[in-house]
Amino acid sequence: MERALEGTVDHSEDNLVPLNEYLSQRMAKPSPINDKDFLLTPEEMSDFFGFISSDSKQNAKKLLFRYRNAGVESDWTRGYLEALKGMIDSLGNNGSHTPFLFKIREKDGNGLREIRKEFSQRIERRYTHEYDRGFLTAWVQYLSVLLLYK
């Protein structure tokens, strides 16, 4: 039993975390999110998520199109915008696979909360890359909007 636990640190009550993950969390420091990272205003974000929820691909695309030439300076902003573009691209997808966007719409409130919690925890991990933090932040926001209507 001791050999199985070798190289781990008890990070919280019953959860064992690999030592290298624990050290990564302790050593890395996430950078703060600046207002400049959010290119869209809160009203535009609300409109965007409304367009996504109602499958209005053209309106969502038109709103995001305004920012096509914006000087994206941070990895966080690039990740955030890529998530929004991915949501748009999922609309009208008639491929052989079901996009994540449609899979989460089928979830009940508890399922949405679980996904949002998992994504939020990933954002908080110290070793998560800024691009991934931005990407996951967009999804956490969209999941929060979906929860308002469940």
- How many CB atoms are closer than 10 A to CB 119? 19
pTM of the model: 0.72
Looking at residue 2, its pLDDT comes to: 42
What gap in Å lies between CA 79 and CA 3, rounded to an integer? 40
Kindly tell me the burial class for residue 22, based on how many C-beta atoms sit within 10 Å of its own C-beta (0-12, 13-18, 19 or more): middle
DSSP 8-class letter at 107: S
Closest-CA residue to 80 (of 36, 124, 144, 25): 36
What gap in Å lies between CA 30 and CA 76, rounded to an integer? 11
Q: Rounded to the nearest 10 degrees, how much is the dihedral formed by the CA atoms of 142, 144, 148, 150?
A: 80
- At 91, the pLDDT band (50, 70, 90 cuts) reads confident
What gap in Å lies between CA 58 and CA 6, rounded to an integer? 54
pLDDT above 70 for 5: no
Mean pLDDT in the chain? 79
Mean of the pLDDT values across residues 9-35? 50
pLDDT above 60 for 13: no
Report residue 117 as tokens.
């919690």
pLDDT above 70 for 8: no
Q: Is residue 74 helix, strand or coil?
A: coil
